[in-house]
């Protein structure tokens, strides 16, 4: 893992601009680095801040269950643990190096997960990297391809990588017609993996093996129950 860390979130980090909380973005907080972005990037950040605070944090009639679209986001926003930045990348090939750098940033960003601590506030920590410069339709599709390729390695490190982009076909877990990751601005997200991620582990044997290495028998039980329900 790349050991570089972000010394000051209000300053750029490589091709990525300041890393701000959703609240700082909505407030257009200059001290947090909001003015380091151009108008185009700020518009993308505002869209993702509203996506988190207005969509992910609330119920939806097509969700297929009670509660918010993402059950972790409301608490993440309250605790200021969901941060968003924008990248200057205009092609997917430029993003992979950024992600390698961000893994080290994420793992050292407070609150840091301690050994065998599976109940702390770290579970609410997440980083979203908006990619407003990626507009080409072919490059947008490659965002999903990159996410799937990197996913097993991220899981092995104890993380999850998620994708958002216009037309993203990934369905909701409780309503296959619901498309919660279909956003107007492409983005990638990093968060810690949890035992509740079992439904996302069926992509490949590598994902399953990495999941089992972290959650052991509990992970195997959850996958077994999942397969029994979907049989």
Cross-strand pairs, 13: 16
**How confident is the model at residue 3, as a pLDDT?**
63
Q: How far apart are CA 222 and CA 104, in angstroms?
A: 29
Helix axes 205-230, 137-156, angle to 10 degrees: 90
Confidence class of residue 186 from pLDDT cuts 50, 70 and 90?
A: very high
∠ CA 143-149-155, rounded to 5°: 110
Residue pair 68/58 in contact by the 8 Å Cβ criterion = yes
The sheet carrying 126-130 orders its strands as 20-21, 82-86, 126-130, 187-192, 159-164
Q: Three-state DSSP class for 217?
A: helix
Q: How distant, in Å, are the alpha carbons of 72, 116, 118, 212, 229 from that of 196?
A: 11, 16, 12, 12, 15
**How confident is the model at residue 118, as a pLDDT?**
59
Confidence class of residue 230 from pLDDT cuts 50, 70 and 90?
A: confident
Integer Rg of the chain from CA: 17
Please give the structure tokens belonging to residue 228: 């029994």
Token pair 């990751």 is at which residue?
181
- Which helix (DSSP H) or strand (DSSP E) does residue 155 occupy? helix 137-156
pLDDT per position as a tens digit, 140-155:
999 999 999 999 999 9
Percent of the chain clearing pLDDT 70 (strictly above): 97
Q: What is the mean pLDDT of the chain?
A: 92
**How confident is the model at residue 7, as a pLDDT?**
84
pLDDT per position as a tens digit, 38-91:
999 999 999 999 999 999 999 999 999 999 999 999 999 999 999 999 999 999
Residue pair 44/84 in contact by the 8 Å Cβ criterion = no
**How confident is the model at residue 96, as a pLDDT?**
87
Q: How much is the average pLDDT of 214-218?
A: 95
∠ CA 41-4-114, rounded to 5°: 105
Token pair 């909701």 is at which residue?
172
- pTM for this one? 0.92
pLDDT per position as a tens digit, 80-116:
999 999 999 999 999 888 888 888 899 889 998 875 6
């Amino acid at each position: 893992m790349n050991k570089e860390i972000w010394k000051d979130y209000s300053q750029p980090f490589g091709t990525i601009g300041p890393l701000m909380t959703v609240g700082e973005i909505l407030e257009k907080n200059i001290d947090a680095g909001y003015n380091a972005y151009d108008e185009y990037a700020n518009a993308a950040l505002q869209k993702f801040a509203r996506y988190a605070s207005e969509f992910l944090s609330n119920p939806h009639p097509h969700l297929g269950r009670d509660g918010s679209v993402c059950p972790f986001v409301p608490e993440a926003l309250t605790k200021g643990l969901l941060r968003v930045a924008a990248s200057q990348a205009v092609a997917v090939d430029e993003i992979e190096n950024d992600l390698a750098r961000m893994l080290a940033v994420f793992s050292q960003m407070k609150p840091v997960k301690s050994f065998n601590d599976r109940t702390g506030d770290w579970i609410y920590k997440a980083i979203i990297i908006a990619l407003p410069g990626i507009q080409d339709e072919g490059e947008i599709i490659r965002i999903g391809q990159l996410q799937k390729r990197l996913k097993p390695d991220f899981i092995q490190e104890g993380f999850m990588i998620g994708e958002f982009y216009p037309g993203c076909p990934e369905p909701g877990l409780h309503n296959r017609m619901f498309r919660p990751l279909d956003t107007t601005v492409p983005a990638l997200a990093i968060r810690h993996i949890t035992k509740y991620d079992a439904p996302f582990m069926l992509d490949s044997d590598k994902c399953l093996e990495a999941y089992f290495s972290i959650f052991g028998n509990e992970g195997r039980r959850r996958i077994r129950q999942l397969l029994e329900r979907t049989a």
